């Protein structure tokens, strides 16, 4: 039974971030895109969390592999939970990479400490979901080359606020689960990742010495961990 990777990116990003990882994976891989990338930010702003889930699930349904390993980065963890519930036995395992894993079917915002949650809500209300370019570069792209950081800023796409604040209403799937801890992450610090590791109930934690985007800055190391997980699943 063929098993493949489903690579779920984080907020503002796209399937393009996985390009250096895909070439190093030993199994087929599907790098999904969040919905509405061809829409204007205003049109994209009306999407619900269920719209995101349904769109990504449809991409997975068309994937050639009978079983899938869900690889969720950042806010992608919020989508991975209801997608795993919908796919059922088709899910062979899950790897979370610096990912948000809500407790009790909560939202992305529910993962954050209360002061940070309130600040994020206020900022999004005033500025929308696209941070200033300097913040994108210093946070998401903290360890990227100048060229990659510029590409990140240029391609960043604001999301619907619903992606951050609506409850995912799904539990952690009962499948093998690893968490990739990012040891130099300026977006998800050590304490927050420790909380997410506990929420996931992970069987194994592996480290990558990177900022929030290891698929761009440490693709070889990240790919090695994903291949190791797949070998363990198939073994």
Query: What torsion do the CA atoms of 152, 153, 159, 161 make, to the nearest 10 degrees?
Result: 120
Reported as half-sphere exposure (CB side, CA atoms, 13 A), residue 233 has a value of: 26
Distance, in Å, from the CA atom of 28 to the CA atom of 225, rounded to the nearest integer, reads 15
C-alpha of 11 from chain center = 8
Q: Which of 74, 107, 149, 217 is catalytic?
A: 74
Distance, in Å, from the CA atom of 195 to the CA atom of 220, rounded to the nearest integer, reads 26
Radius of gyration of the chain, Cα coordinates, nearest whole angstrom: 16
Residue given tokens 């209801």 in the structure block: 82
Burial of 89 (0-12, 13-18, 19+ CB in 10 A): exposed
145 is catalytic: no
Distance, in Å, from the CA atom of 84 to the CA atom of 90, rounded to the nearest integer, reads 8
Q: E strands, the chain, where?
A: 3-8, 29-31, 67-73, 91-97, 177-182, 204-208
Q: Rounded to the nearest 5°, which phi and psi values hold at 126?
A: -90, -45
The residues that are catalytic are: 74
């Amino acid at each position: 039974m063929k098993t493949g990777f489903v690579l779920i990116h984080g907020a503002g990003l796209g399937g393009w971030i996985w390009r250096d990882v895909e070439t190093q994976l030993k199994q087929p891989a599907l790098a999904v895109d969040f919905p509405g990338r061809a829409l204007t930010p205003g049109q994209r702003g009306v999407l619900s969390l269920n719209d995101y889930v349904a769109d990504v699930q449809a991409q997975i349904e068309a994937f050639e592999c009978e079983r899938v390993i869900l690889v969720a980065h950042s806010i992608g963890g919020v989508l991975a939970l209801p997608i795993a519930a919908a796919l059922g036995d088709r899910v062979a395992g899950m790897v979370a990479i610096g990912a948000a894993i809500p407790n009790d079917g909560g939202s992305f915002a529910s993962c954050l400490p209360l002061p940070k949650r309130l600040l994020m809500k206020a900022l999004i209300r005033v500025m929308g979901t696209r941070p200033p370019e300097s913040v994108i570069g210093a946070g998401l792209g903290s360890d990227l080359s100048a060229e990659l950081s510029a590409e990140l800023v240029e391609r960043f796409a604001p999301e619907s606020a619903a992606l951050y604040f609506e409850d995912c209403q799904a539990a952690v799937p009962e499948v093998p689960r690893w968490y990739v801890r990012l040891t130099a992450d300026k977006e998800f610090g050590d304490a927050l990742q420790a909380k997410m590791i506990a929420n996931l109930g992970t069987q194994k934690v592996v480290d990558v010495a990177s900022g929030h985007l290891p698929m761009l800055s440490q693709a070889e190391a990240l790919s090695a961990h994903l291949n190791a997980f797949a070998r363990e699943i198939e073994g």
